[in-house]
Chains A and B, each alone.
Chain A
Amino acid sequence: MLRVSYGELLAQLKQSFEAFGYSLGEYESAATCVLSLELWGFGGLALLEAALPSLELHKQWAPAVTYESNALMLDCYQGSALFGLIPSLELIYVKARQHGASRATLLNCTEPEFVLPLLMQICQRGYYASIYWPSTEDPTHLRWVLLEGDVSGIRVDSKIWQASAPLETSVSIEVARSDSEFSPDHSDPEGQGLSLQDHWGNAALQALFEERYMSSVTIDPWLWSRLQDLGRQVLVPSSEASRSGAGAD
Chain B
Amino acid sequence: MTTSITDQLTRADNAIGAVFDPRVSTVIDDGAALTLRPAAVVMDLDRLGMMQPSRLSFMRTLVRRMVQEAWRITEERFALDNDGYGEAIYCLEAGAESYRFVVFSSPLEKAHRNDRVISNQWDLTMALVRGNLSDAQLDQLRLNVPLQEAGRMEETVLVLSRANRSARSFAEVVAALAAGQQPDVERLKIAGYLCRTTAVYGSGKFGMAGWHVVKTSCRSFRTPFSGEMFTCYMLRHFSCRQVEHIARQRSPGSAVTLAPEIERYIGIGNATGLGMAPFLIKHPVLISHWMTQREIALARIMSQTDCDAPKLCALQSMLEQVVQHLQETTVAADYQTSRNQILIAACLALISKVAQPVFSDALKRGGWQVLQTFVEDHYGPAAEELVQVLLFELYPHLVDSLEESMAADETLDLDSGMTLIELLVLLETHYDWALNIDFNDPNHHALFWYRSEEKMEPRLGDRACDAGAERELPLLIALGVRQCFDAIQKSLAENPESLVVDFLIEHPDQLATVRRVQTLCGLPYGDIRGNLSDRNLEPMHLLRAKLSFFGVGKFDPKSKLWVRNTMFQGAPIIEDLSQDINPDHWYFPTAPVL
Contacts and interface: CB of A to CB of B under 8 A. Distances in A.
Interface of A: 2-8, 23-26, 28-29, 62, 65, 84, 86-88, 90-91, 93-94, 97, 213-216, 232, 234-239, 241-243, 245-249
Given A7-B204, A87-B511, A238 B504 contact: no
Nearest to A234: B471
B499 interface: yes
A117 to B, nearest CB: 13
B561 A8 contact: no
Contacts of B115: 249
Contacts of B114: 249
Given A23-B511, A214-B212, A247-B562, 17 more contacts: A2-B152, A8-B205, A23-B512, A90-B416, A91-B502, A214-B216, A215-B213, A216-B209, A234-B451, A235-B451, A236-B459, A237-B452, A238-B453, A246-B459, A246-B561, A247-B116, A248-B558
Interface residues of B, number: 58
Interface stretch (B391-399, B429-437, B461-469): B461-469
B33 to A, nearest CB: 26
Contacts of B204: 5-8
Given A23-B511, A87-B508, A8 B210 contact: yes
B22 to A, nearest CB: 17
A35 to B, nearest CB: 11
A90 B459 contact: no
Contacts of B206: 8
Contact of A246 (B152, B457, B468): B457
Nearest to B209: A5
A103 B283 CA distance: 35
9 contacts: A3-B207, A5-B209, A5-B210, A25-B508, A87-B501, A87-B504, A90-B416, A91-B416, A247-B559
Given A90-B416, A91-B416, A245-B461, A25 B511 contact: yes
B452 A235 contact: yes
Interface string B554-569: 0000110110000000
A50 B460 CA distance: 37
Contacts of B205: 5, 7-8
Nearest to B470: A236
A215 B154 CA distance: 11
B139 interface: no
Contacts of A97: 417
Nearest to A216: B155
B559 A236 contact: no
B62 to A, nearest CB: 22
Interface in B428-482: 450-454, 456-461, 466-468, 471, 474
Contacts of B210: 5-8, 216
B453 A235 contact: yes
B274 interface: yes
Contacts of A28: 512
A246 B273 contact: yes
B203 A7 contact: yes
A29 B412 CA distance: 11
